[in-house]
Amino acid sequence: MKRTYAQQRGFTLVEIAIVLVIVGLLIGGVLKGQEMITNAKLKRIESDHSGIAAAINSYQDRYLQLPGDDDRALGRFGLYSDGANDPLPFDINGNSDGAIDGDWVAVANSETANIWKHLRAAGLIPGGGDDDSQPTNAYGGNIGLRDGSLEISGHVVVFGSIEGSIARVLEARLDDESPVTGRIQSDLTAVLMNGFATSTVGNYDDTQRYFMAFRL
């Protein structure tokens, strides 16, 4: 039995063109969606940094002490009083030396851990005043704070696990595009962020994740 002409004919050029347009729109939509997600994460990192800086400045204006370093926090916030189980002062209080001491990945009861307790107790960031857990950034890494990192003097906010392509954009938008100079510096090693040393990074690599220190 012979096939009819209608059964044998394929797609017309117009039909193929319509399919290609639809495929192009779908691909464009996916790429645009990815771009919007990336931009949202970039803006969240920037807003996290500015929000933490604002919270610290507000605490200092209100109490004339740095959070974490505050040597009167135990008495200032009644929520730390627990009757017979009152915490020892050094569990909550800092030493009021003007520096938030400790590692950026904070150890319990250190000043770099208590900063989050103090800010939460003061109502300047969300959470309870007995919670010293570190916030996380848009890429799932910890956010920490300490006095100095790499070749940045003064207090810094450290963001962990930032993708190389994002680190490059943040540098271009906010600093000098170099991981070893300026107000933003980066390294591949978490431990190196705890002291004053030159970054080992030459250029940002899209295949790597970075620890980034932002000067407050």
- Domain boundaries along the sequence of the chain: 38-54+100-110+125-215
**Which among 109, 107, 75, 112 is positioned nearest to 92, based on CA atoms?**
109
Domain 38-54+100-110+125-215 has CATH 3.30.1690: yes
Pull the structure tokens for residue 167: 């680190």
**Which among 105, 111, 134 is positioned nearest to 193, based on CA atoms?**
105
Confidence of residue 188 (pLDDT cuts 50, 70, 90): very high
Q: What angle do CA 34, 35, 41 make, to 5 degrees?
A: 90
pTM of the predicted structure, to 2 decimals: 0.82
Pull the structure tokens for residue 164: 């190389």
* pLDDT higher than threshold 70 for residue 76: yes
Strand ranges inside the chain, DSSP E: 143-149, 152-163, 184-187, 209-215
Select, from the ranges 32-36, 37-41, 102-106, the one with the highest average predicted confidence (pLDDT): 102-106
